[in-house]
Amino acid sequence: MPHEKLNLIRGLLRHPLLAETARVLKEELDASCYVNCPECQQRFLPSHRQIYCSKKCTKRMDMRNWRKTPLGKESERKLSEKRREQRAQINSR
């Protein structure tokens, strides 16, 4: 592109109306890219194939999925048993 044309475009973009249009367009584009995190419902801009807003939410979901597996269920059972024992100990005091 010739230098003059480039300068012309740069000048046009400095025009408040065009700058405003560009800003609105960018906002609209951003808004359409945003998704809600399935875990905490927070809106965020996902990077490549990202589903959750943060590592925290990814971990929370991982944990939830893990609890559904036989190993996770077993671990949950043991944990609740432990809690029941602890409660029983407190009550017996």
**Which residues bind to Zn ion, rule: CB under 5 A?**
37, 39-40, 42, 53, 57
Q: Provide the β-strand partners of residue 35.
A: 44
Q: What is the dihedral of CA 52, 56, 62, 65, to 10 degrees?
A: -90
CB of 57 to Zn ion, least distance (A): 3
Q: Which lies closer to Zn ion via its Cβ, residue 42 or residue 69? A: 42
Is the distance from CB of 58 to CB of 69 less than 8 angstroms?
no
Nearer to Zn ion, 62 or 85 (CB): 62
> Cβ 35 to Zn ion, closest distance in Å?
10
